[in-house]
Each structure stands twice: as structure tokens, then as C-alpha cells.
A and B are shown apart, each in its own frame.
Chain A
Amino acid sequence: DGGITQSPKYLFRKEGQNVTLSCEQNLNHDAMYWYRQDPGQGLRLIYYSQIVNDFQKGDIAEGYSVSREKKESFPLTVTSAQKNPTAFYLCASSPGGADTQYFGPGTRLTVL
């Protein structure tokens, strides 16, 4: 069954801790994306990757880091430098170009 998986669904962390959110896709898509969704603010792009071993900052990259060592995986690390990390994080992938993005179920991160 093809798709995008994100884990965990809910994540709690203490202030000052780094945490890594997983995103895996078996759609053989070249491009992958990380978004943050806050109520009333739509989706804001954190990082995106068009190809393995390459990624670009989105609109709100500060306090986040990513890697793209494998085509199917694009983990996001929320560092202690992110001032307001509590949010819903969405991962997406697309075949390439300007085509449709396909989304995972999301991870809700809460910083205690």
C-alpha cells in the first residue's frame, strides 16, 4: 500500500531538547517537503528537498534541520533553538516539477 508515513502521531518533549520527526514515502517521489500547520495560519514551508542529498530552506527554517540521505526518507529535527515548536507538522512528497503534493497524517508536537 503506497503512501507517506509519519511517526509518531503525538510527541511530547521538554524545553531544551531536540526531537526528530520521521517521514517515509514509498511512492518513489523525488521531492519531499516539511510544513508546519498552526490554527488560522495555513501551511508554512519549513524545508524541502528536490533530490537526494540536497535540500533548501523554506519560509520558516530557523530552529529546524533536515537530511535527505535516502530517496524515501526526509527526517525533520526540531532543535532547542526553535522558539515556538508546539505545532502540527506535515510531511509531503511529489513526483517532481509542479505536480500534486501528497501528504502524510502529520505529527502533533507539544513542548512541555
Chain B
Amino acid sequence: AQSVSQHNHHVILSEAASLELGCNYSYGGTVNLFWYVQYPGQHLQLLLKYFSGDPLVKGIKGFEAEFIKSKFSFNLRKPSVQWSDTAEYFCASSTGNNRKLIWGLGTSLAVNP
């Protein structure tokens, strides 16, 4: 069965540190990949997504992710985090035209000012 795994459950960083959150998916065919973010007290919202084309995807608030097919990975990166990046981050995937998303368990990021 298709699955998504996120490597880190809790990450604590200081402001200006670089961020990389790992995400691996299990499906070997065509996949669509997403990163969502849930800021404290706010809606879950889309950070970025990959369907096809350039494997380096840029999203909102300076985030980017790279799709590496050979590694089944879609890691999220940000060169310099801010306190306002404190949130929970979810990686998700879907296959082909399937409307169901498969979700990772999430990574809780705390950025200390």
C-alpha cells in the first residue's frame, strides 16, 4: 500500500538556521506530492506541490522542495527560518488522478527567537 513517511517528528531550530524536513513516499509510479503547513490556530494550507516538470519546486514564504525520483523523496527546505515558521508540516502524496491523499504523520517545528 502507498505510504508517506516523515523522518522527524519534532524539530527545534534557532532563527536563521537552515531547515530540511525529510519526506519519502512508497509508490513507484507517477506521483503528485504536496507539503502542507498548519500554523498555530490556523487552517491547514498548501506550501507547495509537485505534479510534473522542474523537480525543484518553490512555494510560499521562501520554502522549496526537491523531487528526487531515484530516492522516492520530496524534502522541504528553507535556507533561513524565522520564528513565524513555527508550525506543523505535513507531506502528502497522491497517485495519478486519484483524489485521495496519503499523509505523513507530520513534523512539528519550533523556531526559537
Contact = CB atoms under 8 A, between A and B. Distances in A.
A27 interface: no
B103 interface: yes
Interface string A41-55: 111110010100000
Contacts, number: 47
A44 B51 CA distance: 22
B99 interface: yes
Interface residues of A, number: 23
Contacts of A42: 90, 103-106
Given A40-B9, A42-B90, A94 B99 contact: yes
Nearest to A97: B97
A105 interface: yes
A101 B43 CA distance: 12
Interface residues of B, number: 23
Contacts of B100: 45, 48, 58
A43 B43 contact: no
B97 A104 contact: no
Contacts of B99: 31, 48, 50, 94, 96-98
Given A42-B104, A97-B99, A98-B96, A105 B90 contact: no
